A and B are shown apart, each in its own frame.
Chain A
Amino acid sequence: MSRPAPTPIYTLRGAGGPLNTLHFSCHGGDTPLLYSASGKGAIHIWNLNTRRAERIVEGHSGNSIIWVSTLQAAHTLISQGRDMQVCLWDLSEGRSEVVDSVWTGSVGFCQCSVLETSPGNQLLAFAGQQTEEIKIIELPSKTPVCTLVPDAKVGMVMCIKLWQPDSGPGPLLLAGYEDGSLLLWDVTQRSELSRAKAHPEPVMCLTFDPERLRGISGSSEKTLSSWILDRQNNLQLQDDVTLVNAGVSQLCIRGDGKLLASAGWDHRVRVFGWKKLKPLAVLQYHTDMMLSVAFSDHQDPRQRLLAAGSKDQRVSLWSIYNEGADTG
């Protein structure tokens, strides 16, 4: 029996702009929250119980916001705007004020990556002023840690991912560049560990599963390319997945490492099994290009939603492949 096409369990409206990025925060507090940032400089904090915007924070002087995240405590929000600023917000007790900001100097669309090194301390990686440069600083002290510039010409930094390997001493950084190559950097050594040419076109997005040491990247063409890191920290390309329509804005792996979702330029979200990259579902609802996907980090697996933000100013929430839950 073929099941009817899944529909979103809810659609969040009223963001008033394209939804560049989404971030779930379901751990702290009792109400699960979803942060969305719009192209018009507004961060909406959606209460997932009432499904309404609990608060709307305006920042970056109306410039498009391309990335939001929360630092360990849900009350600290970090956002990156096209005004070349990364802002830290204090949202506790109804406040919404910028407590600190970092000037990046980057004019690109590369989203930051943040890694918690110890409680209260984080590393923040962002694209720098020079086209190929990646800067890493320590928060909250804002001490520069290092600047990573590749030897060869690889073009602009498109996407970065910072993570702490179980074995190695220091954090590693994956970066995708304009010419389609992926570079693995050792942050403490400030050295390039390996590189691979994953795409002929610029790498639009990448995501990495530190448990399986496996990642996947998307580009403006029709293929998703997956790769692994071997013991020597060498990037090795693996299978490609060919899509029907070209262009992927964002990739996201679910916390349990079972699902991968892609935000396509073809207005659709595609869901794959992460293990074998088997295509599972195409989520069709939006009427414009998808810009972002995110999986909820809710403790109850049945409430782990998938959120997808689109240029059509809506966020759709989906309840898929979370056993026992209402698929709506």
Chain B
Amino acid sequence: MPPTMAQISDPKIAFAYLRPACVLLTREPTVTNVDTLSSQLKEVNDATLQQLQDYVLFPLRFVLKVPGPKKDKLVQAVAEAISYVLENTCVQSWETLHDLLSELCLCLCSPTDLGKPADTSEELQSAVLRCLTALLHAAYGDIVFKLFEPIMLPGLGATVSLLLALAEKTKSRDIQVSALKCLQALTLQCDCDQDHVVPTSEERCLVGSIVASFLPGITVTVARIITGDLRQGHGVTVRAIKVWSRTVGLVLDDAQLQDAESNKTPSTELGRIGQLVVHRTKDWVKNTAVKLCVLLKKIIACTSAHQHWRVRLEMVELDDHLLDRCSQSLKQCVGPLLEALVGAVNDEEPRVRERCEVTLRAVSQRNQSCSSRGDKSSTAQTFTDVLSENLHSLATSLPRLMRTSDDQKKLFVLNVFLGYIKLLGPLVSVVLNSAAHLERISKALMQVLDLDVMDVRIVEERSYAATIETTPGSADSCFARTQRKHFLYFTDEKIFSVLMEICRTLGYYGNLYLLTDHFLDLYQQSSSYRKQAAMVLNEIVRGAAAIDVVTEGQSLTGQVRGHSVNQEDLTAAVASVMEEYISLKNWHLITVSEETERDRQDQQLLSPSRLLSISNSDFSNSDSNCLQVISSKINSPCTSTSTSTIHQLNSNIWQLCIQLEGIACFAQTLGRDFRPLLMTSLYPVLEKAGEETLLVSQAALGSMWDLSRACGYSSLKELINENSDYLLNDISLNLQRLSQHPQAPRVLTVMLTHSDCSLLPLVGDIVQDVLMALDLSYDHTAALFCSVLHALMKALARWFPSSCGRTTESAQSKKSSGHEEVFDIRQFILDYSKQKELAEGIGIEEDASVEDLEAPAPTECEEDAEDIYGPDVKPELPPHLSITKDVMERCIHLLSDPSLRVRLKVLDVLELCVCVLSEKENELLPMAHRCWPPLLQRLTADDPLAVLRAFRVLCTLGDTCGDFLRRRVSKEVLPKLSSSLTRQAPISAKAGPVYTHTLAYKLQLAVLQGLGSLCQRLDLGEADLDAVREACLPYLSSRQPIRVQEASVSVFRHLIQVDPDALWFTLNELHCPTSYVPPHPDLQPVQLSGMGRPRDEYSDNVLKLLQEEFGSVAEAVDQPGLANEPVIDVTD
């Protein structure tokens, strides 16, 4: 309808306008004619249309009335036209209403059965349903109630069953919804926005008594729809619930029933129809209520956990409506209704929650007013009594329900339980005072919270100092992975969160002392309850501090939390629980099986990736290497431990994790007031942070972060630094009782890892204790202390970064500059001739004098420096250096420890000592001197692994005191090594595949792997380099084991860095892939002994080296530097 066109308001004009179309339609009932009429109808205004209603409706109804089959399209068009008319006018005559109703029903139903829908198109059905709804809305108040006279029962019944059939059987959701809407309109319960007839109570009674006849049909069918297909749209379910609740509410209205009893009218004149009339007697009500109760329970079960919140909201509406209207007649249903309502208190959808709270408040008010009136009926008991009764009975059945039901049911039951607790508020403590009920509740919690401890990975995963140390600053990485708990009896995460909320709410309202006592009892009672009890305790304490408790206005009793737990009580409770947690028997649990422990060590030592680490001689890379080892380790299968012990270990691990979480929780509840408790709790937490089991150490680290946040520290470092006195006190004490407290060194390790040099003064005190404890028990605890010393030195190296590694840098810069420099042939030849003259003895004195002048300069400087303090009095060493010296002293002894593991660790410690001490050469050199003999042993006569580490130490030493070392290495180390290499070369070349498993092979490999970097670091003289080169050359042979070849290639790579020319020559002597054509015919052709040689065993490696280190072989010809090499050869 175009809005610009004015509607016809004059009835006469309208009549004239519409008449032709009406006449035409009567004569020729076609779709076109109907359309014409309906388009014309739209041009007539409502008042006029009302006057012409009968006239207009006549041709349309005539079309419907014409006997014989009609086209769906035509009926649909007619229905739409009628709908339009009815939507804009009122029906004033009973006949019209009655006839139209039956005519429209006839359009829908099948010709044979009035109660069944015909097989018509969905569009038609939808149009007719719309028309019906419009008709019912259009009916005047004075005629509509005629529908509900007993005489109308059969017709009405047919309509009702027709609508029900449509609502149930049709596929289309729209039709289902509109059929249900229509049904609602038919029972005068419509809730759309249009105006409705407001019935008086008598009229309501009339309607109610008639609808009572259809009640069984409607409730059963609609219940079927509600509980039917889960996939049906929520719209249908919502509508169906509405119909159900409205219908039941109408028929079993308490108010009506009271009246109905008084003026029961026996109707005799109805004849057979009279049998259809239902008299709502007491018995009838009772029977009906029983049946409805069954249906209601079904509906509740099906919808209370429905996925769509609108459905749940509608359920709350239903509860509200029925509790409001029919609490007397549906006494049996009050329980389930309340339960459903309570279950919705914790709905995740706030709109549902709000509605629910409003309802509950209304319910409680009604009941209160009820009871205040002094009714004698059972509802007179106050609402809270009902609730606590329900809570009691639920608590009784809780263990069984937890055992038997599925996840969804559990979730619902727990939600209801939580709802009761929230509603009862402070009254909960009354329920809890009953020992039997507390017992039940706790049993149920213990049962359902049983953890699944089957996962083997948890036991297997290991943390390493390296992993912890790489992340001291970043908090996020610590939280990146908190292990999810797996439970035996449920999988849904929601259940867990509801359970935790239950615990918190119990803690919030209940008596904290009673609860902690009870659950601590359980904790102590049996190891099988311990983990669950700890979980519950953690949450109870949190709840008591009102953390994560949502309670605003949910308590119905109108009281706020009667007692608020004061900080003192909370602290006392926390202290007692924590004391239990960290008591020896609950804290020092075995999490690592002895067997796997040993496996691990062996594996770690023999892990091939460890061997790689030497090739990265830059020690800052050692972390990443450690990580490699870890990753290779974790994947290794563990076969030896029996499953039962794994379960035990697993359970221990979880218990520790939960207790660690608990400590974090407690800190959170107490905030800064937790600080005094750090005295007792920080040490145990740190102890676990140093634990090898990954899960435990992660949990501990997590709690450390929580602790630091709760106590107002900005970082772990601050937490540890501020409380270092507490920690060190325990450490120092426990170091004296190592047999009982072997974890003390571990705590120190963690402390050092996370702290900074401000800790040094206090640590200095402790280090003396450590060293003393070590001195007292070398044999037992050396391994343990090595890790402490290692951590200590690592920390010192971090806190006082020295100039270690400067020579590496300078060497590298030298190397790079060498490459970039533009080669000047003239200068080269000049230099060369000068060198040659020198070699022949010309001008040697002159040069020597220069060297003499240069050499003493630095020593003089140092003497000066010493003079400042006077010759006798040595200045006091800075604490970190004196500690380092003390540690190094111990290393000297430990270097020859019988255990390989200890020796390896000591070598690491030694390396760090050298690094730290490097800033004070005066201190370092004597120590290095003292270390030398045992170190030499490691280098020349030890396990390959130790050899490798020793090489690394040697390299580091070479960085800082090269001169001191060079002579010793060239005198004592190199001859031995090179001779053994030379001796071994022919053997390994000929050996079979078994050879790679021999010690000789490993030793060979280790030496070759370390030798290169050593040579480079020490800046060895030419003679030594020659010796090394000679010794390694045989290993370039392709007959050697492949890894030996690789190692040897690596030696050559390092040597090339030191002296590229000589090496180039050596390699080319072995094998020269190209011939060098002199740029000028005057120059002699280049002759290298490797030229033109056929491919032999050395070719591959030589070619590889030449290519990698000197650029591509083909280009070599063009390089001026290399092109000049032959000059040397020529002059020879």
The interface of chain A, by Cβ under 8 A from chain B, is 4, 7-8, 10-11, 13-14, 49-52, 285
Contact = CB atoms under 8 A, between A and B. Distances in A.
B737 A13 contact: no
Contacts of B676: 49-50
Contacts of A49: 676
Interface centre among A8, A13, A52, A285 (most CB of B within 10 A): A13
Q: Is the interface of B mostly helix, strand, loop or mixed?
A: helix
Contacts of A8: 733
B733 A13 contact: no
7 contacts: A7-B737, A13-B729, A13-B762, A14-B725, A51-B725, A51-B726, A285-B733
B974 interface: no
A7 B729 CA distance: 11
Nearest to B732: A11
A52 B679 CA distance: 11
Interface string B737-756: 10010000000000000000
B725 A52 contact: yes
A8 B765 CA distance: 17
Contacts of B177: none
A13 B726 contact: no
B57 to A, nearest CB: 93
B728 to A, nearest CB: 7
B742 to A, nearest CB: 15
B679 A13 contact: no
Contacts of A11: 729, 732-733
Nearest to A284: B736
Q: Determine the main DSSP class of A at the interface with B.
A: loop
Given A49-B676, A50-B676, A51-B679, A10 B737 contact: no
Contacts of B732: 11
Range, interface on chain B: 10 to 19
A325 to B, nearest CB: 14
Of B676, B732, B733, B736, chain A has the most CB atoms within 10 Å of the CB of: B733
A14 B766 CA distance: 12
Contacts of B736: 7, 285
Contacts of A7: 733, 736-737
Contacts of B728: 13
Contacts of B765: 13
A8 B728 CA distance: 13
Nearest to A53: B725
B266 to A, nearest CB: 86
A51 B682 CA distance: 15
A324 to B, nearest CB: 15
A156 to B, nearest CB: 36
A7 B732 CA distance: 11
B588 to A, nearest CB: 15
A302 to B, nearest CB: 15
Contacts of A13: 725, 728-729, 762, 765
A206 B676 CA distance: 37
Nearest to B734: A7
A7 B676 CA distance: 21
Interface string B978-995: 000000000000000000
B568 to A, nearest CB: 12
Contacts of A51: 679, 725-726, 729
A13 B726 CA distance: 10
Nearest to B722: A52
B593 to A, nearest CB: 28
Contacts of B740: 4
Interface in B761-785: 762, 765
A41 B450 CA distance: 61
A49 B678 CA distance: 12
A52 B729 CA distance: 12
A4 B740 CA distance: 10
A10 to B, nearest CB: 6
A134 to B, nearest CB: 40
B632 to A, nearest CB: 43
Nearest to A51: B679
A27 to B, nearest CB: 21
A253 to B, nearest CB: 27
A11 B676 CA distance: 15
A51 to B, nearest CB: 6
Contacts of A14: 725, 762
Nearest to B772: A287
Nearest to A49: B676
Interface string B711-739: 00000000000000110110011001100
A277 B679 CA distance: 36
Given A4-B737, A10-B679, 17 more contacts: A7-B733, A7-B736, A7-B737, A8-B733, A10-B729, A11-B729, A11-B732, A13-B725, A13-B728, A13-B762, A13-B765, A14-B762, A50-B675, A50-B676, A50-B679, A51-B725, A51-B726
